[in-house]
Structure 1
Amino acid sequence: MSDEAAASSNGASDVPEIELIIKASTIDGRRKGACLFCQEYFMDLYLLAELKTISLKVTTVDMQKPPPDFRTNFEATHPPILIDSGLAILENDKIERHIMKNIPGGYNLFVQDKDVATLIENVYSKLKLMLLKKEENKNNSLLGHLKKINDHLASRATRFLTGDTICCFDCELMPRLQHIRVAGKYFVDFEIPNSFEALWRYMYHMYQLDAFTQSCPADQDIINHYKLQQAKGDVKQMKINKHEELETPTFTTSIPIDIAE
Structure 2
Amino acid sequence: MSDEVGQAEQQQASRRPPPQIALFVKAGSDKECIGCCPFSQRLFMILWLKGVVFNVTTVDKATKPKDLADIAPGTNPPFLIFNGEVLTDIPKCEEYVEAELYPPNYPKLACKYTESRTVGNDIFAKFSAFIKFSGDRRSEQAKKLETRLVESLKKFDAYLRKPLDHEIDADSEDNEGESQRKFIDGNFMTLADCNMLPKLNIIRVAAKRAADFEIPKEFVGIHRYLDAADKAEEFKQTCPEDDEVCWTYNIRARKPVKH
What TM-score results when the alignment is normalised by the length of structure 1? 0.77
Q: How does 1:103-182 map to 2 (within 5 A)?
A: 103-105=101-103, 108-134=108-134, 135-156=142-163, 157=179, 158-182=181-205
Match of 1:34 in 2: 36
Q: For the residues of structure 2 that align with 1:114 and 1:60, how far apart are their CA atoms?
A: 34
Give the CA deviation at 1:184: 0.6
Partner deviation per Cα, 1:32-87 (whole Å, 9 max, x = no partner): 111111101100110112xxxx2121111111211121122222211111111111
| Structure 1 residue 211 corresponds to structure 2 residue 234 | yes
For 2:77, what is the secondary structure of its paired residue? coil
Report if aligned partners of 1:18, 1:85 keep a CA contact under 8 Å in 2.
Answer: yes
Match of 1:6 in 2: none
Q: Which runs of 5+ in 1 are unaligned?
A: 1-11, 228-240, 244-261
Partner deviation per Cα, 1:6-48 (whole Å, 9 max, x = no partner): xxxxxx99322321111110x1000111111110110011011
Q: Percent identity at matched positions?
A: 29
Letter of the 2:145 counterpart? K
Letter of the 2:220 counterpart? E
Report if aligned partners of 2:50, 2:107 keep a CA contact under 8 Å in 1.
Answer: no
Q: Give runs of ≥4 in structure 1 deviating > 3 Å.
A: 104-107
Letter of the 2:161 counterpart? A
Letter of the 2:197 counterpart? M
Letter of the 2:243 counterpart? Q
Q: How does 1:1-150 map to 2 (within 5 A)?
A: 14-25=17-28, 27-49=29-51, 54-105=52-103, 108-134=108-134, 135-150=142-157
Give the CA deviation at 1:242: 7.9
Match of 1:187 in 2: 210
Q: For the residues of structure 2 that align with 1:178 and 1:37, how far apart are their CA atoms?
A: 13
Q: For the residues of structure 2 that align with 1:72 and 1:110, how far apart are their CA atoms?
A: 33
What TM-score results when the alignment is normalised by the length of structure 2? 0.77
Q: For the residues of structure 1 that align with 2:116 and 2:77, how far apart are their CA atoms?
A: 26
For 2:99, what is the secondary structure of its paired residue? helix
Report if aligned partners of 1:101, 1:107 keep a CA contact under 8 Å in 2.
Answer: no
Give the CA deviation at 1:112: 4.7
Highest Rg: 1 or 2?
Answer: 2
Q: Which runs of 5+ in 2 are unaligned?
A: 1-14, 135-141, 164-178, 254-259
Q: How many residues align?
A: 214
Give the CA deviation at 1:93: 2.2
Partner deviation per Cα, 1:124-172 (whole Å, 9 max, x = no partner): 1001010123401111111111111112111221111111111011111
